[in-house]
Amino acid sequence: MFFNTIKTISLLALLSFICMAVGSLFGPNGAYTALIMAVIMNFFIYFYSDKMVLRMYKAQPLDQQRYHHIHEMIEELAHRMNIPKPKVWLVQSSQANAFATGRDPSHASIALTTEIISILDEAELRGVLAHELSHIKNRDILISTIAATIVSAIGYLSYTLRYSALWGAQTTNRKQSSSQNNRLILFIAGLILPLFATLIQLAISRSREYQADETGAHITADPLSLASALKKLELHTHYTKQEYNYRPANALGIVHQFCGKKYMDLFSTHPPMEKRIARLHELHKKLF
């Protein structure tokens, strides 16, 4: 858990450094201007994305009487994590998945699909719920928003960099930026830096998934149940139609693969399932 926290902080620091470095090409106020623009854009996303996501999936409140056992599990786990019980939603779907959303523990929601409730036993479902509650406890939505803000700022700056390079505009602190060689270097940098920043953002997302697995497993003291749930969910994705593959909120789910290819791990919001399962088995050995 400590390693993942340090890794997340380091990656955020690296993103910030890239943003400041690119911004410095446009003078002392370049990065600040881009950051302000990104903050304004992400402000709305931070405060209203949960409502947008739940509306996108046509989520309905999870019936208190029919699913009282799920409400009880969430209430008990939330109490153990010392956070308020989030709102609980049901998504009618043949895809087995679950996700958490909301800007902080006091404004959080957990959504479960009908299929995940159907295929998991009680211990496995408890492990999944602990994972999603861990995202809320660890404030992963906030961390993701900070990363998205910085990446957006880098995107704005890189676009301006490419535009300046193409049209031969001089930057304020590089006298020779109008030369063909320098303009080519600036243009290439404007193409590469957004991709590099996005890869760092995805690495942060994968790190938060590992940490949510670990936090949830510690809270339940049952890493193997979560490992079993992940294995079952992974197998399920191979035999069901992925109806939400192209929706922006897909990355929020506990299960998500970019395209199932190992060489695409760098471009995935989630770590490879086999690595997550192996880590949980290692944690079980340490705990017991």
The tens-digit pLDDT sequence of the chain (288 residues) is 556 567 666 766 776 777 666 666 666 566 666 667 666 766 776 677 788 888 888 999 999 999 999 999 999 999 999 999 999 999 998 889 999 988 889 999 999 999 999 999 999 999 999 999 999 999 887 787 777 777 777 777 777 777 777 765 444 444 444 456 677 777 787 788 888 888 888 888 888 999 999 999 999 999 999 999 999 998 887 766 554 444 545 566 887 644 445 555 667 888 889 999 999 999 999 987
Beta bridge partners of 89: 61, 111
- Token pair, residue 46, equals 């931070």
Provide the pLDDT for residue 23.
Answer: 65
265 secondary structure, DSSP code: G
Cα 107 to chain centroid, rounded: 18
The angle subtended at Cα 261 by Cα 255 and Cα 263, nearest 5°, is: 120
- Cα separation, 54 vs 61, in Å, equals 10
Clarify whether 282 is annotated catalytic: no
The tokens for 102 are: 């909301």
Count up the domains in the chain and report the number. 1
Q: What angle do CA 8, 11, 12 make, to 5 degrees?
A: 85
Q: How buried is residue 42: exposed, middle or buried, by Cβ count under 10 Å (0-12/13-18/19+)?
A: buried
Distant-in-sequence contacts of 160-166, Cβ < 8 A, 24+ apart? 160/26, 161/22, 161/25, 161/186, 161/187, 161/189, 161/190, 161/193, 162/186, 162/187, 162/190, 162/191, 165/190
Q: What is the pLDDT of residue 261?
A: 52
Residue 47 is predicted with a pLDDT of 78
Catalytic residue among 115, 132, 209, 234: 132
84-89 long-range Cβ contacts below 8 angstroms, 24+ apart: 84/108, 86/110, 86/133, 86/136, 87/61, 88/61, 88/62, 88/112, 89/54, 89/59, 89/60, 89/61, 89/62
| pLDDT recorded at residue 158 | 79
Its domain, for residue 155, covers 2-287
